[in-house]
Copies of this chain bind each other. A is one copy, B any other.
Amino acid sequence: MIRSAVKSASELCGQSDLSRAVDEFATCTSVELLQGTLFEIRFHAPRVAAAAAPGEFAQLLVDEGQVPLLRRPFSFSRVDISEGTVSFYLAAVGRGSSRLRLLHPGDRIRVLGPLGRGFSLPSSPGRSLLLAGGLGAAPFPLLMDQLIGRGEEVIWLNGSRSSSELYPDHLLPSGIQSRLIRTQDGSKGDPGLVTEGLPELMGVVQRIYACGPNPMLAAVYRSWASEVAAGHTAASLEVSIEAPMGCGFGTCLGCAIPLAAEGDESGPIGLCCRQGPVLPAQQLNWDQLLNQPAHLG
């Protein structure tokens, strides 16, 4: 595995601007419990809030360095610059997220951000499809906010296994053009996967943003790639992906992601925290991404 590929990851995909990151000792201002284990947690972290852009993430220090040891990465979900707050949308799945759910207003933890590269915003308005599977909804409220603010038309396609895992309507910004709901068990919206009917939608938008489990993203990518190849769409596709993170700022080399040199060709190793978490879909090696174990813990 010796190859002269390290520099080319950033040449290929660019890299995050670390100089904007601040490690802020933030105060929890609310924990809104939603369905099941889902919740939204908000922090007063004015310096982070002022710099945060859609698709970027923060590293939350749940414990002062013991258990859990590492920070936990979460995408900015909603940001209120005037109040100086950032909100994260998450599920209590493991030790870190479960501890976050038990925070009380007034409790303080360190929030490091913004980190990573976010979604690219259109230079001139058009129509965007925002496609989220399950928790993948997290980064989209902030993105919508900024898109709508720029006059973009937003189509919101939210899928999940069942209605209990959908992103709650009341947290969405106003001004969304159309909302499409899909649940696998049909408990809300149309039954089925988000990928159904996707080719048609792709034809009518300039931009597609997707976030969700890797298999979903891979399916979206394949569908998009064939539509592009067939000339049915010229939309761009950006995806937000996940990798286990040690640092979030490029020094641990732990968040390796397989990049594509050209199309699906195996390319260099990139870093999710610096080349991502948002990448143009064609820059990823999807076969290798899918080969990674689902269980990261």
Which A residues contact B (CB, under 8 angstroms)? 63, 66-67, 102, 104, 107
Residues of B within 8 A of A104 (CB): 104
Distance from A4 Cβ to chain B, minimum over Cβ atoms (Å): 42
A4 to B208, CA, bound (A): 79
Q: Which of A63, A67, A107 has the most CB of B within 10 A?
A: A67
Among candidates B66, B67, B107, residue contacting A102 with C-beta atoms closer than 8 Å: B107
A104 to B102, CA, bound (A): 10
Is the contact region of chain A dominated by helix, strand, or loop, or is it mixed? Answer: loop
Nearest 6 pairs of A and B residues by beta carbon: A66-B67, A67-B67, A104-B104, A63-B67, A66-B66, A102-B107
Residues of B within 8 A of A102 (CB): 107
Residues of B within 8 A of A67 (CB): 63, 66-67
Q: Enumerate 6 A-B pairs (CB-CB under 8 Å) in ascending A order.
A: A63-B67, A66-B66, A66-B67, A67-B67, A102-B107, A104-B104
Distance from A100 Cβ to chain B, minimum over Cβ atoms (Å): 15
A104 to B28, CA, bound (A): 15
A67 to B64, CA, bound (A): 11
Distance from A119 Cβ to chain B, minimum over Cβ atoms (Å): 37
Residues of B within 8 A of A63 (CB): 67
Q: Chain B residue with minimal CB distance to A69?
A: B67
Residues of B within 8 A of A66 (CB): 66-67
A220 to B107, CA, bound (A): 43
A297 to B63, CA, bound (A): 20
A294 to B37, CA, bound (A): 45
A63 to B66, CA, bound (A): 12
Distance from A64 Cβ to chain B, minimum over Cβ atoms (Å): 9
Q: Chain B residue with minimal CB distance to A95?
A: B66
Distance from A123 Cβ to chain B, minimum over Cβ atoms (Å): 48
Q: Chain B residue with minimal CB distance to A65?
A: B67
A63 to B64, CA, bound (A): 14
A66 to B66, CA, bound (A): 9
A224 to B61, CA, bound (A): 53
A67 to B66, CA, bound (A): 7
Q: Chain B residue with minimal CB distance to A107?
A: B102
Residues of B within 8 A of A107 (CB): 102
Distance from A72 Cβ to chain B, minimum over Cβ atoms (Å): 16
A192 to B66, CA, bound (A): 42
A3 to B67, CA, bound (A): 42
A206 to B5, CA, bound (A): 84
Distance from A106 Cβ to chain B, minimum over Cβ atoms (Å): 9
Distance from A85 Cβ to chain B, minimum over Cβ atoms (Å): 21
